[in-house]
Structure formats: C-alpha cells, structure tokens
Amino acid sequence: MKVSENTSVAMPIKNMIGIVVAVAMGIFAYTELTSRLTSLETSRELFSSDLLKKSEQVPTDQEQFMLLEHMASQIEELENEMQGMRNNTVNLNRAMKDIEDMKATIENMKDKIRNNGSHQ
C-alpha cells in the first residue's frame, strides 16, 4: 500500500465527529489541568511569601515592652501624686494642731479679758 497526498481515506462521518469531539475534550482537559496547576503554584508561592514576611515581622514582645514602659511611667506619675498627697496630709495635720493651739490661746485671752473686766 502506497500512501501519498492523493491517497483518499473513506471514513464514516460518525467516526470523524467522534475523533473531533475526542480531540476537543482532550484540549479542554489539558487547558483545565494547566490552569489548575498554575493556580496551585501561585497559591503556594503566595503562602511561602506570606510566611517569610511573617517571620521577618517585629515580634509582639516589643509591643508588650512599649506597653510596660507606658504603664511604668503612669505608675511613676501616680506615685509622685501620692507622695504629694502624703505631704499635704502632714501639712494639714500640722495646720490643724496649730489652729487648736490658737483656739486655746484665744480662749485664754478671752478669759483674761473677762477677768480683767470683772475686777474693776
């Protein structure tokens, strides 16, 4: 059997349509497969990139350290305010004692004045 460009092939149309459909399905399956592989590779690369970025991020310890520093400064301010209040308490107690002494002195003076007025 000699095959050349003029050789004719007789084939039923049903078989020819079957071959065309099979080739079309193969091309479609290949396209879907390559698309899915590309999508998975992209996802893997993005995931790897995200992991690298997260490993390079500043640890939360620094944020906690900053919060501790802030809280420590607030505690220092409160301690200073409490120290001032203690000083105020001491001053108020001293002032109250002085006022009591002045009251006693005034009462003595009133008594002396009354006694002076009644002796005349």
Residue 74 banded pLDDT, cuts 50, 70, 90: very high
- HSE-CB of 54 using CA atoms within 13 angstroms: 6
Q: Kindly report, residue by residue over 16-63, the tens digit of the pLDDT.
A: 899 999 999 999 999 999 999 999 999 998 888 877 776 665 667 778
pLDDT top residue among 49 and 117: 49
| Domain definitions of the chain by residue range | 11-57, 59-120
Of 46, 43, 66, which Cα lies nearest the Cα of 54?
A: 46
Residue 88's pLDDT is 80
The amino acid at residue 110 is K
Percentage of the chain with pLDDT > 70? 89
CB environment 13-23: b (16+ within 10 A), e (fewer): eeeeeeeeeee
Give the separation between CA 85 and CA 11, rounded to whole angstroms.
Answer: 109
Mean pLDDT, the chain, rounded, equals 85
